[in-house]
């Protein structure tokens, strides 16, 4: 089948992911897409780009089945680096990490919410639409044993709390939407590349491996998974 790929302000929406089969057909009267539609925020590179390998979704497709927030920031040369000590924490780094890693995703969910009214999608086990936010294990307070990385850890913890709060609201309003938080593992991307020196053998994943693992979680998600925090292998991560 032919895929239609759209770019809009740094976002990419594609009529379902490459690894998921889909029946594609247009309603000729309204020109609305009748299959599943996925939107990946943060699709210019790294994991987001692999998820996406999207003019207005409302006008062209009418609805959204899957929203993936994949944007994230860990370091910028000469601007922002993970802190190894409290003495290196700066207000500017804290605010930048929070803005990119937490504020951006929650605002995307806010604006896409009216479109997330259609469940599942052909080729999945889902009966609900899914919002999947890429978090990180280091955002877990209960799993924090090494300290450091204050800005990144706290911004991902904020993303976790915001996502959990949204999941409660969706459930209370009986919207057919669930929110997932996903830890992709340590993936060979630009984000992790400066910090790969001490990674144990077999613990550095390819983008393809990580995304396939995350897709299996997303596509098998059920209503009772709403608001949960999963690692790439399907194991729940403590808050």
What pLDDT shows up at residue 121? Answer: 54
For the segment 17-44, what is each residue's pLDDT rounded down to a tens digit?
333 333 222 222 333 444 567 788 765 5
More confident residue, 75 or 148: 148
Alpha carbons 160 and 133: distance in angstroms, whole number: 9
pLDDT in tens, 193-232: 666 677 777 677 788 888 889 999 998 999 999 999 999 9
Rounded to 5 degrees, what are φ and ψ at 41? -95, 125
More confident residue, 170 or 191: 170
pLDDT digits (tens, 9 = 90+) for 98-154: 999 999 999 999 988 988 865 555 556 677 899 999 999 999 999 999 999 999 999
Put the strands of the sheet holding 177-183 in their side by side order: 6-8, 11-14, 38-41, 66-69, 129-134, 177-183, 228-231
pTM of the predicted model, to two decimals?
0.77
Which domains, ranges and CATH numbers included, belong to the chain? Answer: 6-231 (3.40.50.720)
* Radius of gyration from C-alpha coordinates of the chain: 18
Q: How far apart are CA 67 and CA 117, in angstroms?
A: 12
Length, in residues, of the chain: 239
CB-CB neighbours of 141 under 10 Å: 11
Dist CA 223 CA 147 (whole Å): 34
Cα–Cα separations (whole angstroms), residue 126 to 6, 100, 120, 218, 221: 24, 29, 4, 8, 6
Contact 68, 38 (CB under 8 A): yes
Say if residues 183 and 136 touch (Cβ distance below 8 Å).
yes
């Amino acid at each position: 089948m032919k895929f239609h790929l759209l770019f809009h302000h740094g976002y990419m929406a594609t009529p379902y992911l490459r690894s998921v089969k889909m029946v594609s057909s247009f309603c000729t009267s309204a020109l609305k897409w009748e299959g599943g539609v996925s939107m990946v925020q943060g699709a210019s590179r790294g994991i987001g780009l692999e998820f996406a390998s999207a003019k207005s979704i409302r006008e062209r497709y009418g609805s959204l089945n899957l929203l993936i927030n994949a944007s994230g920031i860990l370091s910028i040369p000469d601007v922002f680096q993970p802190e190894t000590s409290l003495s290196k924490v700066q207000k500017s780094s804290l605010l930048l990490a929070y803005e990119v890693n937490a504020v951006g995703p929650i605002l995307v969910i806010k604006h896409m919410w009216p479109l997330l009214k259609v469940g599942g999608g052909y080729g999945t086990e889902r009966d609900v639409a899914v919002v999947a936010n890429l978090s990180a294990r280091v955002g877990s307070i209960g799993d924090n044993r090494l300290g450091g990385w204050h800005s990144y850890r706290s911004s991902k913890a904020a993303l976790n709390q915001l996502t959990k709060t949204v999941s409660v609201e969706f459930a209370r309003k009986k919207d057919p939407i669930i929110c997932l938080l996903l830890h992709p593992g340590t993936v060979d991307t630009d984000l992790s590349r400066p910090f790969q020196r001490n990674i144990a053998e077999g613990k550095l994943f390819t983008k393809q491996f990580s995304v396939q693992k995350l897709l299996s979680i997303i596509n098998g998600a059920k209503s009772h998974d709403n608001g949960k925090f999963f690692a790439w292998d399907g194991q729940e991560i403590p808050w």
